[in-house]
């Protein structure tokens, strides 16, 4: 397909380096103004009451919502405002009223397969994006499994969906992929990219006790870098998938190491993403 019609999303997690090559798309320019990130971690009580809101445009409203603290939400038509559901989720994430007015709803496997049919999806990054890829496999009911370790893998899923995971933990790796596609004749239809965690842990932090240095201030510094880098809409081509707030809102019980989160977190991120793909394809 044309290299100028890729829907590009960036996972906004722990942080991102600035050296990300700008990927040209035909997305309409829609302002994507962000509220200021919280300066401190939320208490368990506070996270239940906090809902993150965004301004003005539906592509950003898809990130707006909060954790409801209700386990095992039934997966029926009466709970479509909740992005996650099922017995496996001890907590669930629900869209805000603004997102719902933009048409946000939990998409079933058949709807997602229809959206992605005959398309090439590339998920590029580190273990954060690999868990996102695993969430897609779960939703589509695929028997395929993610391949752990520092390697690429690819599957053809139902609906002739070409799903590629590219191990690209550094921003320079993402830049290299984008440059290759830009200079070639083919490029993915859909791209999800994440970078920064490895730069923080393996370049800037070389001591044995990395956790001591992985502070909220350093995380906020990396997250500010991507906001100021002009790769996000409207200045750049990337849609923001705000994993920073999504994971922070879920809290300590959703993670075992502070870096990787529960399935519910990635399942919510996937639903936010597929809703934006739906908006993009309809525009």
Output 207 or 3, whichever has higher pLDDT: 207
How many folded domains does the chain comprise? Answer: 1
Q: Is residue 192 part of a domain?
A: yes
What is the pairing mode between strands 190-193 and 120-125? parallel
Q: HSE on the CB side for 77, CA within 13 Å?
A: 0
Inter-CA distances, 195 with 18, 85, 108, 216, 278, Å: 10, 29, 29, 17, 25
Q: What is the pLDDT of residues 172-201, one digit of tens each?
A: 898 899 889 988 888 999 999 887 676 666
Q: Domain span at residue 128?
A: 7-282
pLDDT at 206 over 70: no
Q: Do residues 236 and 22 make contact, with C-beta atoms less than 8 angstroms apart? A: yes
Instruction: Compute the distance between CA of residue 82 and CA of residue 110 in angstroms, rounded to an integer.
Output: 17
Neighbouring C-beta atoms of residue 163, cutoff 10 Å? 23
Instruction: Compute the distance between CA of residue 49 and CA of residue 68 in angstroms, rounded to an integer.
Output: 8
Q: Is residue 1 part of a domain?
A: no
Residue 177 tokens read as 């992929």
* Residue-wise burial string across 237-268, b where 16 or more C-beta atoms lie within 10 A, e elsewhere: bbbbbbbbbbbbbbbeebeeeebebbbbbbbb
Q: What is the pLDDT of residues 59-110, one digit of tens each?
A: 778 888 999 988 889 999 999 999 999 988 888 999 999 899 889 999 999 9
Residue whose token pair is 């870098």? 225
Residue whose token pair is 């707006």? 64
Q: Is residue 34 part of a domain?
A: yes
Residue 119's pLDDT band, with cuts at 50, 70 and 90, is very high
Local structure of 204: helix, strand or coil: helix
pTM of structure: 0.80
Helix axis angle, 263-282 relative to 109-116, nearest 10°? 50
Residue 8's pLDDT band, with cuts at 50, 70 and 90, is low
Which of 58-67, 154-163, 245-254 has the highest average model confidence (pLDDT)? 154-163
DSSP state, residue 257: S
Q: Is the dihedral of CA 165, 60, 277, 233 positive or negative?
A: negative
Q: Is residue 2 part of a domain?
A: no
* Residue-wise burial string across 104-129, b where 16 or more C-beta atoms lie within 10 A, e elsewhere: bbbbeeeebbebbeebbbbbbbbbbb
Q: Is residue 176 part of a domain?
A: yes
How does the average pLDDT of the chain come out, rounded? 76
Q: Which of 133, 140, 64 is nearest to 108 (CA)?
A: 140
pLDDT at 221 over 80: no
Q: What is the pLDDT of residues 36-51, one digit of tens each?
A: 223 233 344 443 444 4
């Amino acid at each position: 397909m044309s290299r100028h019609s890729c829907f590009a999303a960036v996972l906004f997690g722990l942080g991102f380096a600035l050296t990300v090559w700008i990927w040209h798309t035909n997305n309409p320019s829609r302002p994507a103004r962000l509220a200021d990130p919280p300066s401190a971690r939320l208490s368990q009580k506070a996270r239940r009451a906090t809902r993150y809101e965004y301004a003005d445009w539906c592509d950003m409203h898809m990130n707006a919502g909060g954790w409801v603290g209700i386990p095992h939400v039934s997966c029926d038509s009466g709970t479509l405002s909740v992005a996650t559901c099922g017995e496996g989720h001890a907590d669930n994430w629900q869209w805000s009223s603004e997102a719902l007015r933009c048409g946000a709803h939990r998409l079933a496997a058949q709807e997602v397969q229809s959206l992605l049919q005959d398309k090439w999806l590339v998920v590029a990054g580190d273990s954060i994006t690999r868990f996102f890829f695993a969430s897609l496999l779960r939703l589509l009911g695929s028997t395929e499994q993610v391949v752990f370790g520092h390697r690429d893998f690819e599957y053809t899923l139902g609906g002739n969906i070409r799903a590629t995971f590219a191990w690209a933990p550094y921003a320079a790796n993402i830049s290299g992929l984008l440059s290759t596609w830009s200079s070639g004749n083919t490029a993915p239809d859909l791209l999800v990219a994440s970078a920064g965690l490895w730069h923080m842990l393996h370049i800037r932090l070389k001591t044995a006790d990395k956790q001591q240095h992985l502070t909220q201030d350093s995380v906020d510094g990396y997250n500010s870098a991507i906001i100021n880098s002009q790769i996000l809409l409207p200045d750049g081509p990337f849609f923001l998938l705000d994993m920073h707030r999504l994971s922070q809102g879920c809290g300590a019980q959703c993670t075992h190491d502070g870096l990787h989160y529960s399935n519910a977190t990635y399942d919510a991120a996937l639903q936010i993403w597929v809703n934006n793909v739906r908006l993009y394809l309809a525009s």
